[in-house]
Homo-oligomer: A and B are copies of this chain.
């Protein structure tokens, strides 16, 4: 079953948010990605668990943390 997971991610430009979007899009099991740059939030609809998603976002080199299920 897919859930909506919310993450805090430090993003300061379209290049930052585009990078986060690209790495998440590559994962199997990610259905939707919403990026709120102003609010510094990324919401991922996925069947994957939050640890796997957080680990993937971390690989971008951005500071990030898990907020919870939306």
**Interchain CA distance A18-B12 in the complex, whole Å:** 11
Number of copies: 2
When the two chains form their complex, are residues A62 and B19 in contact, meaning their CB atoms are under 8 A apart?
A: yes
When the two chains form their complex, are residues B13 and A61 in contact, meaning their CB atoms are under 8 A apart?
A: no
Please give the distance in Å from A60's CB to the nearest CB on chain B: 5
When the two chains form their complex, are residues A59 and B62 in contact, meaning their CB atoms are under 8 A apart?
A: no
How many chain A residues sit at the interface, stated as a range, is: 10 to 19
Q: Which of B14, B22, B61 contacts A19 (CB 8 A)?
A: B61
**Interchain CA distance A62-B17 in the complex, whole Å:** 10
Q: Which residues of A contact B (CB under 8 A)?
A: 10-16, 18-23, 59-62
6 residue pairs, one from A and one from B, having the closest CB atoms: A19-B61, A12-B15, A13-B13, A22-B61, A23-B61, A59-B59
